[in-house]
């Protein structure tokens, strides 16, 4: 049998993809409503593998736990539960999603892994996405804050090469700033590149190793949660 012409296959693939994405978006919208009524700030952390998501998140969770905040985390990887074990060192409840080849997390995976957790007993839920700069950008997880992370070891031009990530994120974090000098990281150029892709984007600079910039970053997340509570309060009035 002669295989069909590519032009005949593509519209069908596109149609199926659009339907799947639509289903994801509908579920994500419902989940966002639930998160907001439960007053839990959900943050989705997106970057390439090795940017320092797990190391930063472990430090964040440790600080939140020490301050008495109610936090939990879900982490996605293709294989292994290594990151969940590293994050659990903070004392926070953590669940691992193994995607077995899927390059991003989807809303139904989060919904499934939330089972048994009472949302109203959480202040913050953090999601570490699968390390990838492209696929996670199309998949809404119901988060209130999407963070694009970029490390000083990756080069300053990531925002120019992957504008989709920066355009769909609320805030950017530059990680591993303790390595900026040995890596000859051009901070001004990186900031300029972020601003050229996403004018006005707020950027935090952190080192999970030295703790630099952590307080400001955590304050930002607290402010976001206060805003979320304010919104829920005003809807209820």
Ligand X SMILES: Nc1nc2c(ncn2[C@@H]2O[C@H](COP(=O)(O)OP(=O)(O)O)[C@@H](O)[C@H]2O)c(=O)[nH]1
- CA–CA separation, 130 vs 100, rounded Å? 11
Please name which of 141, 145, 142 lies closest in space to residue 170, comparing C-alpha atoms.
145
Stretch that binds ligand X, among 1-9, 13-21, 171-179, 188-196 (CB under 6 A): 171-179
**83 near Mg ion, rule: CB under 5 A:** yes
- CA–CA separation, 159 vs 167, rounded Å? 9
Bridge partners (DSSP) of residue 96 are 75
Stretch that binds ligand X, among 4-12, 27-35, 176-184, 214-222 (CB under 6 A): 176-184
- CA–CA separation, 93 vs 71, rounded Å? 7
Q: Which does 144 bind (CB under 5 to 8 A by kind): ligand X, Mg ion, none?
A: none
Residue of 76, 131, 142, 159 interacting with ligand X (CB under 6 A): 131
For the CB of residue 72, give the shortest distance to ligand X in the complex, in Å: 17
Smaller CB separation from ligand X, 50 or 155:
50
Do the beta carbons of residue 78 and residue 100 sit within 8 Å?
yes
- CA–CA separation, 149 vs 52, rounded Å? 8
**43 near ligand X, rule: CB under 6 A:** no
Alpha helices in 38-122 (DSSP H): 53-66, 82-88, 107-113
For the CB of residue 141, give the shortest distance to Mg ion in the complex, in Å: 16
Helix (H, G, I), strand (E, B) or coil at 18: helix
Residue of 43, 47, 54, 175 interacting with Mg ion (CB under 5 A): 54
Smaller CB separation from ligand X, 78 or 201:
78
**158 near ligand X, rule: CB under 6 A:** no
List contacts with ligand X (CB under 6 A): 47, 49-55, 131, 175-176, 178-179, 207-209
């Amino acid at each position: 049998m002669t295989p069909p012409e590519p032009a005949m296959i593509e519209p069908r693939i596109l149609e199926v993809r659009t339907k799947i994405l639509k289903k994801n978006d509908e579920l994500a919208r419902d989940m966002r409503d639930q998160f907001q009524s439960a007053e839990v700030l959900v943050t989705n952390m997106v970057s390439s593998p090795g940017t320092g998501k797990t190391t930063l998140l472990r430090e964040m969770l440790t600080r939140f736990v020490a301050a008495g905040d109610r936090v939990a985390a879900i982490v996605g990887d293709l294989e292994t539960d290594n990151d969940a074990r590293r994050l659990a060192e903070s004392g926070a409840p953590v669940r691992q999603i193994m995607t077995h080849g899927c390059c991003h997390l989807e809303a139904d995976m989060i919904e499934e892994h939330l089972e048994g957790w009472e949302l109203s007993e959480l202040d913050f839920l953090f999601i570490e996405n699968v390390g990838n700069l492209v696929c996670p950008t199309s998949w809404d997880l119901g988060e209130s804050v999407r963070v694009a992370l970029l490390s000083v070891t990756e080069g300053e031009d990531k925002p120019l090469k992957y504008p989709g990530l920066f355009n769909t994120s609320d805030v950017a974090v530059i990680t591993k700033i303790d390595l900026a000098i040995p890596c000859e990281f051009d901070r001004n150029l990186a900031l300029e590149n972020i601003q050229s892709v996403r004018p006005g984007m707020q950027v935090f600079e952190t080192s999970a190793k030295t703790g630099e910039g952590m307080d400001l970053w955590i304050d930002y997340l607290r402010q976001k949660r206060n805003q979320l509570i304010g919104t829920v309060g005003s809807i209820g009035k």
